[in-house]
A and B are shown apart, each in its own frame.
Chain A
Amino acid sequence: MTFAEPAHPPSAKAPLVWALGAAIPWAFAVLAQIVWFVLDGRLPWLHALAAVATLLGIVLFVVVVPMWRYRVHRWDLDPTAAYTRSGWLVQERRIAPISRVQTVDTYRGPLDRLFGLTNVTVTTASSAGAVRIVALDDPVAQQVVARLTDIAALGAEDAT
């Protein structure tokens, strides 16, 4: 038996939000290096080495990884299950039956709110079984939550 891939990509704004989220800590790293260079300009080769490492890190985590993740991330729902594909270097496809869903949570970080994105987490009784549908446009996320809570008779049974 083969298993089709989930159909829907996340919001088109997702790579931008991921890139910004990754850029913030890297901005601090750049700032720290500038301060270090201004305060102590000796050992230029060490500064150059650190700068190259930072640049490589920025290119990888701010440019490559968000685009890569956007190509990988997919989600899908049908009347019986929630199904996602996620990751970049390590990729995961995860499926959970809606009859075993315990809660449907949404999470919106500061950046998500700025760009109107919502992350939906579908939890089951297992800590290894939570299905995360990340970076959905707000209206889409609302539909997803409504559909999930509709199908899942939440609290009907023990679901373990």
Chain B
Amino acid sequence: MTGAPVADGWQRLSPRMLLVHPVHEVMRQLPVLIGSLVLGSATGNPLWTVAGVALIVAYGLARWFTTTYRIGPEEVTLRTGVLQRSVLSVPRNRIRSVSTDARLLHRLLGLTVLRVSTGREATGDTVFALDAVPAGDVPRLRAVLLADSLPPQPSGRVLAAWQPSWLRYSPLTFTGLAMIAAAVGVISQSGLLRTLRDSAVLRAGEGAAQGLGVWGAVAVGAAVVLVASVVLSVTQSLLTYANLMLRRDGEVLHLSHGLLRVREHTYDMRRLRGGTLREPLLVRMFGGARLDAVMTGVAGAGEASQLLPPCPRTTAEAVLVDLIERPDAVTGTLTPHGPAATRRRWVRALALPVVASVGAGIAALTVGIGVWVWPVLMLLAAFSVFLAADRSRSLGHRAGGGWLVARSGSMQRRRDCVAAPGIVGWTVRQSWPQRRAGVATLVAATAAGTKRYEVLDVPADAAWTIAATTSPWLAATSWARD
């Protein structure tokens, strides 16, 4: 069943959206709803409330009647808007990818949101989204929409499939902590804390804390936060990435994932310009990595470009090798950046503990400070030493064979592999300290991914050599000297 056809090739979305739109509209227009509730109870006339709800529901219903789309021979067009009409047209040969997304309510009704992307970054009103079509129609629509730009591909093979064991990397993200911090913020803002203060639960907690003493209470508190953040992180990871499947059919890459809300992305492999292996420290410690695509028309950071969530590093590497067919770029040894770069890592990392120690020393001599400061300072210093050593070890690059590979970072270590044909410009940047140290940062500009890929602190005289080894056209310009 396709949406009810209207005249002239125009089609409506699935009639089941008559159920979804009002519900979404009620959630979106919550202020109006609350306003009408307040008005209804204040005036003692419940008709106000009924009128408010009726208005919102009517608006939701009207959205279905006013939204139509047409898949024409040259372009696809979407007309939307109850009061403000807007028409969005996308030339069919410009369609680069089709992604789908189904939230819980949509899934229950067998519906899917279908987004069409042209490779340009679109936001807000300029996103071509059919919200929503029957899930059963998606393969047909996808084939029709991509027929012009991406001919049907032979069915391929699975590059990676989610395994429950991947969850072992998720307790090691800061997602859970961030969620707890956000929740605490909301609670303290809303004044809920004050009502909690007198509750029996909290009083029992206080009693227990007094029994444990200060350090005991701190330890228990830390353990509770840790366990809560682990549970939250794992749950979030399970909901988002369970059933992940990365499949390649010829020149098309399909990615689908999600337990309750299922998301599907289709990528045009011809737009792939490389990949980034990301190894956040906490994931790297357990041998994990994530994989991002470097692709034109796909934002370089965030969910849009993520091909694999934290998974075993060998899996991420194998998938990247499969995609770019260059094992040496993915796993090959890197040229280190030399002593000047290493010195800069150490100076930078140790600046903070040194300044803090000097400050603490002065404070200790003049006003006096607590004893606890010194162990904290020592921890900070030890961590900084580790950071400096790890950052120095990470730094490396590899050029030639049509690829640029650069690795850097410690907390967020990344290995960028970028194809030379995708590089549309080079920048050699030197700050004043870099000029003194004789190093430079080489920046490869590309239309794909994050748009700029940096090779940090290479020896200044090697910067142009790396660039020219990657992009041979540089050696043919009139400024190149042997």
Contact = CB atoms under 8 A, between A and B. Distances in A.
B447 A160 contact: yes
A18 interface: no
Interface in A1-30: 1-6
Contact of B425 (A3, A91, A95): A95
Nearest to B297: A160
Contact of A81 (B431, B435, B477): B477
B71 interface: no
Contact of B424 (A78, A91, A129): A129
A136 B424 CA distance: 24
Interface stretch (B79-87, B134-142, B467-475): B467-475
A143 interface: no
Interface residues of A, number: 30
A142 interface: no
A3 B480 contact: yes
Given A124-B445, A126-B447, A128-B445, A2 B427 contact: no
Contacts of B479: 3-6, 76, 78, 83
Interface in B289-312: 296
A128 B443 contact: yes
Nearest to A94: B427
A46 interface: no
A96 interface: yes
B429 A126 contact: no
A92 B428 contact: yes
B465 A1 contact: yes
A76 B447 CA distance: 24
A68 B335 CA distance: 35
Contacts of A83: 477, 479
A128 B464 contact: no
Contacts of A2: 461, 464, 481-482
Nearest to B446: A126
Contact of A100 (B424, B465, B468): B424
Interface string B428-453: 11111001000000010111100110
Interface string B257-286: 000000000000000000000000000000
Contacts of A131: 425
A80 B445 contact: no
A96 B429 contact: no
Interface string A68-79: 000000001010
B428 A126 contact: no
Contact of A97 (B425, B435, B452, B465): B425
B481 A1 contact: yes
B424 A90 contact: no
Contact of A129 (B425, B435, B480): B425
A159 B425 CA distance: 11
A80 B425 contact: no
B424 A89 contact: no
A53 to B, nearest CB: 22
B481 A127 contact: no
Nearest to A6: B479
A116 B447 CA distance: 34
Contacts of A160: 296, 422, 424, 447-448
Contacts of A3: 464, 468, 474, 479-481
A96 B475 contact: no
Contact of A125 (B431, B447, B465): B447
Contacts of A97: 424-425, 471, 473
Interface in B353-379: none
Given A91-B430, A93-B428, A96-B424, A78 B452 contact: no
Contacts of B190: none
Contact of B451 (A78, A95, A128): A128
A93 B451 CA distance: 17
A39 to B, nearest CB: 38
12 contacts: A2-B464, A3-B464, A3-B479, A3-B481, A4-B481, A90-B431, A95-B474, A125-B296, A125-B424, A126-B445, A127-B452, A160-B447
Interface of B: 296, 422, 424-432, 435, 443, 445-448, 451-452, 461, 464-465, 468, 471, 473-482
Given A78-B478, A160-B424, 8 more contacts: A2-B461, A4-B479, A4-B480, A92-B427, A92-B430, A128-B443, A129-B427, A159-B424
Interface of A: 1-6, 76, 78, 80-81, 83, 89-97, 100, 124-129, 131, 159-160
The 10 closest A-B pairs by CB, nearest first: A129-B445, A129-B425, A125-B447, A128-B452, A96-B425, A126-B445, A160-B447, A3-B464, A128-B445, A78-B478
